[in-house]
Structure 1
């Protein structure tokens, strides 16, 4: 049977939700998915549409979600619909919804900046060189198996999370003289989560289309879409 993918995009324009999701539409179609694209979360409240969806690819940074939409999303995932996304489109969505945060298992807290004297007043102030470290679990998991740890120069997400997530990759925020924390802090970069019959995959790199085109990042996102898709 043909798998169905629902791409939901919107929210803050700075994360280029349209251009970013367009990057992955050919991959989905090439892998046989029937793809539906929506520009709002209204579709989450459509029970029939959600029941017929095998995979949700969400790119909605910040924004708000109604109780009916959230209930529809949570019910779909619990019943087996996969949910995946990258960067703020999934890990910084619907900040006011504690139930959404519990569903996803991790929430953007900050992206530390450069030294104050190097800041120029634009988004590059938050671009740092950092390493994505594949974990022992990640070396065996279908999403990240065969990938080596890799370097990026972009926003390095500091994530608040719980221990119901399975972490496939991490990054470590160093303790710097201009920052208020006093020891290095390790955050998950790629994780999976089982919720009812559904699978969730979150990848925190993806601030820009350029980052999503990085070979390792793109591989993780694409494999994550396949792995999260309804299996029953």
Structure 2
């Protein structure tokens, strides 16, 4: 569980609500059902319109990464690669077959299977890098859904505010209703800007960082497996891969 993400959400919205209280406002002044319906519904609809079906499905699958990032154990990965290098030197590349069968990481397992099959290092690199690029691009396309929500929300909030002001203008004959009516109208703007800057855009940026970190881990795997294919010394492999440690 990523504690910083949880704290970030809590602190962000607490600052917004707390600042409203300090200025003498109340929680009721920030609650408006129609405004929330307009902003959330309009933002989601606009983002969904521009997002392909597969990317939308993937977006919901990677969303939990905000609070539970995928595990990319760089130290453990280096240790595994060094063990595989020792096994390859002692038993040959065919000695990695039983390791490949038990490897849980799909990407690493594919690399090991290519090693066992006797593929040339450059062939292994091309195949694994192609899969890395395709997977990375698929995930980057998915998080554009949240980026687009961050872009649309403020504009939809302004639309909601204008719609509220139109309703206020109909009651100009009653001056007592103008102040509260205008305040309620601008709640939609608050919803749009707050959701964009406290939720949607940070979510997209956090997911982008998770994707980049996973890609770096997979690059580590590629370099290690290619080094094993080239017959490099396990110690040399370890020293080279230590550069990936944060």
Same fold (TM over 0.5): no
Higher helix share: 2
Report TM bin, short chain: under 0.3
The structure that is strand-richer by fraction is 1
Higher RCO (C-alpha under 8 Å, 6+ residues apart)? 2
After TM superposition, the score normalised by the length of structure 1 is 0.22
